[in-house]
Amino acid sequence: MNDTVEPITVLIIDDDEPLLNSLQDTLERSGYVTLRANRPETALKILDRTPEVDVIVSDIRMPGMDGIELMRIVRQRYEERRWLQVIFLTGHATIDNSVDALRLQAVDFLHKPVRRNQLLDAVAIAREKAVEDRRTFQRWQQSQARLSRLIEEASHLSQELGQSGFANHTATVMTRNNDELDNKRMLDLLKTRDIRTRYFSDKLFADPAWLMLLDLMEQHLRQKTVSVSGICIDAGVPPATAARRLEEMEQSGFVVRKVDPNDKRRQLVALTPKSVELVTNYLRTLHDQMKQI
């Protein structure tokens, strides 16, 4: 195993001081930043002030609060830190403990005495998951920020144009001769998203929420229905990630779902009037900027 690793922070929790020293020494020699706590209460205080923690290595049997109960609190209190990975240590494994560890999404369950290679292998796997989950969370934050900016810009643009509502806005967009922003023009503008994908294939450049929003706008303009499964597959990310983004968009009022009247087993998804207005304003701005080039 290569001991050179991308720097991350590991929190070690154990009431056995000699073992704590040994674990910390092993991890730090392998390039990890480590924090330590000999009591669950101390661990919670460290987590309160140190959001940089990526991986937790915790003993299960400790005086007072045990490791399982501690992790239940961690999962609830730091729910937004979806990247936190947990590795449990125990000298007395039970079926109940194993089941609880799985429910708490533990990466591994190591038996004492823990060998160096076992520890480093488990932390390496946890590190990879933590790094990927952090990136996913950051992309989600960026997506939310972009959607918020889009709302603000669209609202500002609507005020400048003196528009008072979605119905009037849509009628204005489709009928004003000097704007030339009809369905065909909007469909052409929507194709610009393919240019970025063509040259920047890395997944960090492809935000699923934004791409799904534009895909749904395209189908709205073509007056076609879209299934939930179809939009998730076309998002180009794992189905679970796409489904999560779609749920977030629904909660924010950007999309609405309904049962397919022709197939009760299938759900359809469509943009809300608010989303249609926002994307139309976005395309109008893009259209106006391109005319000035």
Concatenating the DSSP letter of every residue in 243-291 gives: HHHHHHHHHTTSEEEEEETTEEEEEEEEE-HHHHHHHHHHHHHHHHHHH
Mean pLDDT, all residues of the chain: 76
Mean pLDDT of 241-256: 86
In three-state secondary structure terms, 88 is strand
pLDDT tens across 97-125, in order? 556 666 666 777 888 888 999 899 999 98
pLDDT tens, 28-71?
A: 999 999 999 998 999 999 999 988 899 999 988 888 788 888 88
Q: Higher model confidence: residue 8 or residue 27?
A: 27
Stretch 182-187: mean pLDDT, rounded?
Answer: 75
Residue 92: per-residue pLDDT: 66
Q: Do 9-135 and 163-292 share a fold?
A: no
Higher pLDDT, 255 or 291: 255
Q: Is 3.40.50.360 the CATH classification of the domain at 163-292?
A: no
Predicted confidence band at 168 (pLDDT cuts at 50, 70, 90)? very low
Least-confidence region, from 240-244, 251-255, 289-293? 289-293
Please compute the mean of the pLDDT values over residues 162-167 and round it to a whole number: 39
Alpha helices by DSSP H, the chain: 17-29, 40-49, 67-77, 95-103, 116-161, 166-175, 183-190, 192-199, 208-221, 228-234, 239-251, 273-292
* High-pLDDT (> 90) share of the chain, %: 23
According to the model, what pLDDT value does residue 181 have?
Answer: 64
Long-range contact set of residues 91-94: C-beta below 8 Å, sequence gap at least 24? 91/61, 92/60, 92/61
Greater pLDDT, 208 or 160:
208
pLDDT tier at 208 (50, 70, 90 boundaries)?
Answer: confident
Place of tokens 């919670």: 44
State in words which class domain 9-135 has. Answer: alpha beta
pLDDT at 283: 79
Q: pLDDT tens digit string along 68-101?
A: 888 888 888 888 788 889 998 887 655 555 566 6
Domain locations along the chain: 9-135, 163-292
